[in-house]
Amino acid sequence: MTDLRAFVLAHHPKYGYLLLKAVKKKKGIHCQVPGGHVDAEELDGEEIDKACRTAAARELFEETGIDVRGDIDRLVQVSWGPNHSVELKGRRLFHLQLEDSDSCTDPGAEYPSTGEPFKLRLSSEHQEFKFQEDMLQAALDLQQHSGGKVSMILRQVSADVERLGHASLETSATFAVEKNCELGCCLCQ
């Protein structure tokens, strides 16, 4: 295990941002996004970006049953702020555009507490999950996760998106690709 951590901000266009609920002795019930430490063997001989993306895909699968390990290019590294930062105190965040086909079909898969028709196979470290449509509210919901670093990143991305007039992180990505955006937003690199 290394000090690097990789997290996935998964977003479904109809339902919103995927948040996992966990219970910890010190924190009580709180929201998390899928993710965790980059394993040493993932880093061995690999570029940091690829190792982090691989770890993010592994953690996503372990915690939710969503499997992008064979298509890690679906995980888009998020950058933020005027310097296009990609890391905050060893944490990297990747965006995943969820599709209906990502819904888990395993027996025992669960529906979210918010009622959307999307199922996950949760790991034992999470009790339930929900979707949050508003990016800023998702950031607030994540304040207790990973020392608040993921929340800080998401709040900065939200500010970037609002400042540059993109409606959301997802339309920002689409705008960047389709319009060759050079405004300096989180995905326009």
H or E stretch including 33? none
Query: What's the pLDDT band for 173 if we cut at 50, 70, 90?
Result: very low
Query: What's the pLDDT band for 23 if we cut at 50, 70, 90?
Result: confident
Instruction: Work out the percent of the chain whose per-residue pLDDT is above 70.
Output: 85
H or E stretch including 15? none
- pLDDT tens-digit profile of 79-116? 876 667 788 888 899 999 999 999 999 888 999 999 99
- pLDDT tens-digit profile of 131-142? 999 988 999 998
What size, in residues, is the chain?
189
Alpha-carbon gap, residue 110 to 99, rounded angstroms: 17
Alpha-carbon gap, residue 74 to 96, rounded angstroms: 6
The CA-based angle 9-189-10, given to 5 degrees, is 10
In the predicted structure, residue 129 carries a pLDDT above the cut 60 = yes
Which residues, in sequence order, are bridge partners of residue 91? Answer: 5, 88
Query: What CATH number was assigned to the domain covering residues 5-133?
Result: 3.90.79
